[in-house]
């Protein structure tokens, strides 16, 4: 169990640029989640995948955000035409996806800190 891996750890970009983050979940986990966290707040749900299928997206998620999980392994989150309001920590989490309230423990990665100048 090597844990959830995210890269890069930090990303600084100029407003209007596109950025892409990668998440490698724990290998036997079926579900993969993306959350966003701003300073002083709890993580906010963005989207999640069951294997390669994207099952839910937050209504707060702008059209500029897109996520993929090809082959049900790693996932990428892309933000197009970044805005200063996109600055946040982007967290990835994975779980076994056993559809049990007691077993849906999330294992988080250390996140990608995005700063949009």
Partner 1 sequence: QQPVQSPQAVILREGEDAVINCSSSKALYSVHWYRQKHGEAPVFLMILLKGGEQMRHEKISASFNEKKQQSSLYLTASQLSYSGTYFCGTPAGGTSYGKLTFGQGTILTVHP
Count the neighbouring beta carbons within 10 Å of the beta carbon of residue 92: 28
Query: Helix, strand or coil for residue 73?
Result: coil
Residue written as token pair 């970009």 = 13
Q: Out of 16, 51, 99, 115, name the contact with partner 1 by CB under 8 A.
A: 99
| Residue span binding partner 1 (CB under 8 A) among the ranges 16-24, 66-74, 80-88, 95-103 | 95-103
Stretch 30-69: interaction string toward partner 1, x if CB under 8 A: -x-x------xxxxxx--x-x----xx-------------
Q: How far apart are CA 61 and CA 22, in angstroms?
A: 18
Q: What is the widest separation between alpha-carbon atoms in the chain?
A: 42
Residues that bind partner 1 (CB under 8 A): 4, 31, 33, 40-45, 48, 50, 55-56, 91, 93, 95, 97, 99-102, 104-111
């Amino acid at each position: 169990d090597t844990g959830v891996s995210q890269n890069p750890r930090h990303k600084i970009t100029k407003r209007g640029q596109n950025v892409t983050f990668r998440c490698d979940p724990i290998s036997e986990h079926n579900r993969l989640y993306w959350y966003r966290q701003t300073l002083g707040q709890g993580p906010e749900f963005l989207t999640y995948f069951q294997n390669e299928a994207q099952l839910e997206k937050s209504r707060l998620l702008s059209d500029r955000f897109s996520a993929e999980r090809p082959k049900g392994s790693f996932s990428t989150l892309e933000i197009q035409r970044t805005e200063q309001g996109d600055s946040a920590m982007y967290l990835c989490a994975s779980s076994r996806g056993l559809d049990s309230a007691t077993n849906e423990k999330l294992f988080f990665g250390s996140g990608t800190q995005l700063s949009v100048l």
